[in-house]
A and B are shown apart, each in its own frame.
Chain A
Amino acid sequence: MTIYFKIILAVLLLTGSFFSCEKDSFVDEDGLLITFRSECFVSNFELLGADFVTVRAAPAVIDTVAQTIDVSVLFGTDLKNVYPQFTLATDCKLDPKITGKMDLSNLSDSKIFTVVSGNRLVRKPYKLIIKYQ
């Protein structure tokens, strides 16, 4: 009985030491899981006003080859206070992060948002082009 107990303990200790030596590399700097997915694209885009109601005049046109997002906004939209929302491929993340309202009023200087794939190896910059209706 005691021998069996010792054997089990030894096996457990051995297994524990293996795990503890393994490199901890499954999460990125944001604490997000790094996966094996290499898909990297924007699947949907929404733009909300200060009242969290859409300011789009039509659905955004996303070109995943040219890596552009064209969106026309309603007359009178206050682009200094808008909330962009990106829908990305599975496990992707966005750089820069959107943490609150954004000022997108400088229409001559298109904002660039980079999509990073789940395996964090593919980066695709998307140009956000906004124009008034």
Chain B
Amino acid sequence: MLYRNFNFFFLVWVLLTSLTACQEEEYILPEPISQLTNDCLKRTIGPSIASLPIEFAYAMAIPKSQGKLVSAQVEASIPGGTGTYLEHRSYYTNSGGVDIPVTVGSPSTAVDNGKSSKVTFTVDTNAVTLRYYYIVPDEAKGQTVSFTFSVNSSDGKTASYKMGPYNISKMSIKKNLTVSNGTNAFISIEDMAIYNATSAAAIPDKVDLVYLYRASPASFTHALVSPSADAAYLPSVTLPTGLKKSTKLRKVFGLQDRNLANLQFGIYVDDIDLTSVDMTDMPNYAIGLRAEAGVWVETADKKYRAYIYINSVNATGSAVLSMLRYTL
């Protein structure tokens, strides 16, 4: 009896499922856009760092029957740094993958005390995509920034699109600093600069590291060493008077930050990396450094942490470094 009842219910269930599965979903024709419209995307990935651009692509369109585009503008909650602008050219990509510009308006002007960038269209156009480059200003560090993109059309309509808020990193960046053995060999994390012995002697409290190159032993080669490190790691080095800082260093390999590596690779060092890296018991020297390696740095007063990336090395005793610095 139980078996029969089970069979019956099973049959009903199969029947119901088959009915549902056969139901046809009607296709609904999408409504054509009949008014001024806009859209935006952020092209830059990775942390937003002061002095570097954040790039957007702002698309706008209006049906031909409604009129044409008149002007476009972007307003940032914090005025952008020097070099912030809204492109007055639209781009298409040719068969070789190269972006080809087409001028559609007059070069952007800064309005509203630098908060906004505005482009007025000089050609009759109904649809266009403009790029916007926002240079993160120093004063935005640790804050958030938002953007309002808007477009005006000849029929008196306005459309706008909000982007953000985006967190701005507390890091500072300095790229392509050349260090050389015995000459420009003194590194200041605070100043994010390289000094020679004479300049270093004038600011001993700011010098955190010494760059040196030794061909022997073979494991030494390119090195970053604290002024107060063991003499074994500063062979034949006469330090300028007053240099005595002990800076902690932690070697890293395979961390090629995209910003430091001049837009190669796809890795980013962010604020959280610099705050969370464990620098406990780390030595005050890093020897055997090579191209594409790096070091985490913590200054003796624990005021700064930095990531120094080795862009390139030269066997004659020089190297090119880039650094990200975070104020703790």
Residues of chain A having any CB pair with chain B under 8 Å: 49-53, 57, 74-76, 78, 80-81, 103, 133
For residue A47, give the distance in angstroms from its CB to the closest CB of chain B: 14
B217 in contact (CB, < 8 A): yes
Choose one: B217, B219, B253, B281; the contact of A51 (CB below 8 Å): B253
B143-182: contact bitstring with A at CB < 8 Å (1 yes, 0 no)?
Answer: 0000000000000000000000000000000000000000
Contact B251 A50 (CB under 8 A): yes
A-B interface contact total, Cβ < 8 Å: 40
Residues from chain A with Cβ under 8 Å of B232 in the complex: 76
Number of interface residues of B (CB under 8 A): 17
Choose one: A52, A76, A78, A80; the contact of B253 (CB below 8 Å): A52
Which residue of chain A has its CB nearest to the CB of B280?
Answer: A81
Residues from chain B with Cβ under 8 Å of A81 in the complex: 250, 281-283
Contact A74 B283 (CB under 8 A): no
A80 and B232 CA atoms in complex are apart in Å by: 17
Which residue of chain B has its CB nearest to the CB of A77?
Answer: B219
Residues from chain A with Cβ under 8 Å of B250 in the complex: 50-51, 81
B267 in contact (CB, < 8 A): no
Among B220, B282, B283, B293, the most chain A Cβ lie within 10 Å of the Cβ of: B283
Contact A51 B220 (CB under 8 A): no
A7 and B252 CA atoms in complex are apart in Å by: 68
B233 in contact (CB, < 8 A): yes
Which residue of chain A has its CB nearest to the CB of B283?
Answer: A78
Choose one: B217, B252, B253, B282; the contact of A75 (CB below 8 Å): B217
B204 in contact (CB, < 8 A): no
A51 and B254 CA atoms in complex are apart in Å by: 9
Residues from chain A with Cβ under 8 Å of B281 in the complex: 80-81, 103
A94 and B217 CA atoms in complex are apart in Å by: 35
Choose one: A50, A76, A80, A103; the contact of B219 (CB below 8 Å): A76
B275-317: contact bitstring with A at CB < 8 Å (1 yes, 0 no)?
Answer: 0000001110101100001000000000000000000000000
Residues of chain B having any CB pair with chain A under 8 Å: 217, 219-220, 232-233, 250-254, 281-283, 285, 287-288, 293
Contact B293 A75 (CB under 8 A): no
Closest 7 CB pairs of A and B: A51-B251, A74-B219, A51-B253, A76-B287, A78-B283, A75-B217, A75-B219
A50-B251, A76-B219 known; 14 new pairs, CB 8 Å cut-off, are A49-B251, A50-B282, A51-B251, A51-B293, A52-B253, A52-B254, A53-B251, A75-B217, A75-B287, A76-B220, A76-B233, A81-B282, A81-B283, A103-B281
Which residue of chain B has its CB nearest to the CB of A53?
Answer: B253
Contact B251 A80 (CB under 8 A): no
Among A51, A78, A133, the most chain B Cβ lie within 10 Å of the Cβ of: A51
For residue A104, give the distance in angstroms from its CB to the closest CB of chain B: 12
Interface on chain A toward B: helix, strand, loop, or mixed SS? loop
Contact A80 B283 (CB under 8 A): yes
Which residue of chain B has its CB nearest to the CB of A74?
Answer: B219
A115 and B217 CA atoms in complex are apart in Å by: 35
A81 and B252 CA atoms in complex are apart in Å by: 13
Given contacts A81-B281, A103-B281, contact A75 B251 (CB under 8 A): no
A100 and B265 CA atoms in complex are apart in Å by: 28
Which residue of chain A has its CB nearest to the CB of B230?
Answer: A76
For residue B120, give the distance in angstroms from its CB to the closest CB of chain A: 54
Residues from chain A with Cβ under 8 Å of B285 in the complex: 76
Contact A51 B287 (CB under 8 A): no
Residues from chain B with Cβ under 8 Å of A50 in the complex: 250-252, 282
A93 and B306 CA atoms in complex are apart in Å by: 39
Choose one: A52, A74, A80; the contact of B288 (CB below 8 Å): A74
Residues from chain B with Cβ under 8 Å of A57 in the complex: 219
Residues from chain A with Cβ under 8 Å of B293 in the complex: 51
Which residue of chain A has its CB nearest to the CB of B296?
Answer: A50
A76 and B235 CA atoms in complex are apart in Å by: 12
Contact A51 B252 (CB under 8 A): yes
Residues from chain A with Cβ under 8 Å of B251 in the complex: 49-51, 53
Among A53, A57, A103, the most chain B Cβ lie within 10 Å of the Cβ of: A53
Chosen A-B contacts, 29 in total, with CB atoms closer than 8 Å, are A49-B251, A50-B250, A50-B251, A51-B251, A51-B253, A51-B293, A52-B253, A52-B254, A53-B251, A53-B253, A57-B219, A74-B217, A74-B288, A75-B217, A75-B219, A75-B220, A76-B219, A76-B220, A76-B233, A76-B285, A76-B287, A76-B288, A78-B283, A80-B281, A81-B281, A81-B282, A81-B283, A103-B281, A133-B219
